[in-house]
A = this chain, B = another copy of it.
Amino acid sequence: MTASFSFRLDATDGAARTGIISTPRGEIRTPAFMPVGTAGTVKAMLPEHVRATGADIVLGNTYHLMLRPGAERVAALGGLHKFMNWPRPILTDSGGFQVMSLSKLRKLTEEGVSFQSHIDGSTHMLTPERSIEIQCLLGADIQMQLDECPAIPIAEEAARKSMLLSIRWAARSKSAFEATAAPGQALFGIVQGANHESLRRESLDRLLEIEFPGYAVGGLAVGEGREEMFRVLEFTCPHMLANKPRYLMGVGKPADIIGAVARGIDMFDCVAPTRSGRHGQAWTKSGPVNIKNAKFADDPEPLDPESDCPASRDYSKAYLHHLFRAGEYLGPMLLTWHNLQYYQHLMHGLRDAVSTGRLDKFIEQFKAATGETVV
């Protein structure tokens, strides 16, 4: 434990890295996967089980929490960690991405973005300063600057205009953060520029001038496809600081994560394991399966008999199939737990492979076992 935020790089294997992010609330082993706890809960999971899977940090969504229960309320109740009974590190996003994807009547200006809540239609304004204020009220250990995240494809001129707005918001976010944040909290800048190499370089250069303790790659996983995403990482990551953590936002499926780790990314978040778990999809050593498929109705085997996770080990596929057919709570509970265990086991394997210089072999084994393509 430390009273300040720091990153220690322990080993590399090609472009891939492994290390430790230290925060006052605990260490984060990288490469790290952050389960998404949108509204103050990793859906269908007890926090002690999230931890038991090996998660060092979870993500909270500023957009959801500002609308319900409200950041000031969470602060009055002692902050998000206490509220959700998760004493370890929390990263919050800026809220910007979900304003644009979920809210109604959005209006983007230099000042920020005004919108109507998707819950009750109430009107709100999210500026770089308000986003930081909310994230500080929540007590997030890692906070994110407000940015604009355009879809791909986007023409270079429009992409540059958007990226420069994000840069101006980055500077305002940092000023607000320095005025408000607690010791040991960290604000990350976000590299934008769509899939245009020159824009990604320009975005990164300008963020490096502002200076952040960590940098995210934003604006990916927005429909561009895995190969294109990897191409962007290939021309972006080599220019990022070696001694700062790199966070690829909103990514991804196992093959996405593996490919991004190979290109130098340290941190990930994605709803895939939790959302798909609620819908009956389980990741296994041999690839994804849909437990609702009739072929599992009589299958006595668990998802992973060798796992130390009760959800993976102690229930047959036939039982899981039955739970989903019957619409029982326990189905999403067990499959979410299993998927989060799978993801953390994957991250453990990646860290171990990078530490010992065997990432290529790890990737080959993953491809052979799952039939997945990792470009």
**Chain A residues engaging chain B, CB cutoff 8 angstroms:** 39-41, 43-46, 48, 64, 68-69, 73, 76-78, 83-85, 278, 297-298, 300, 310, 314-316, 318-319, 322-323, 325-326, 328-330, 332-333
Contacts and interface: CB of A to CB of B under 8 A. Distances in A.
Given A77-B300, A77-B318, 19 more contacts: A39-B326, A39-B328, A40-B319, A40-B322, A40-B323, A41-B323, A41-B329, A44-B329, A44-B330, A46-B333, A68-B325, A68-B326, A69-B325, A76-B298, A78-B300, A84-B319, A85-B319, A329-B332, A333-B333
B328 A333 contact: no
Contacts of A84: 319
A297 B77 CA distance: 10
A85 B41 contact: no
Nearest to A85: B314
Nearest to A64: B326
The list of the 8 closest CB pairs from A to B, nearest first, reads A44-B329, A69-B322, A41-B330, A39-B326, A85-B314, A41-B328, A77-B318, A83-B319
A40 to B, nearest CB: 6
A79 B29 CA distance: 42
Contacts of A325: 68-69
Contacts of A278: 329
Nearest to A316: B77
A328 B43 contact: yes
B322 A68 contact: yes
Contacts of A39: 322, 326, 328
A300 to B, nearest CB: 5
A298 B43 contact: no
B41 A310 contact: no
Contacts of A328: 39, 41, 43
Contacts of A73: 297-298, 318
A298 B77 contact: yes
A80 to B, nearest CB: 10
Nearest to A48: B310
B69 A297 contact: yes
B77 A330 contact: no
Nearest to A43: B329
A305 to B, nearest CB: 14
Q: Which of A39, A297, A332 has the most CB of B within 10 A?
A: A39
A84 B41 CA distance: 26
A76 B300 CA distance: 9
B329 A333 contact: yes
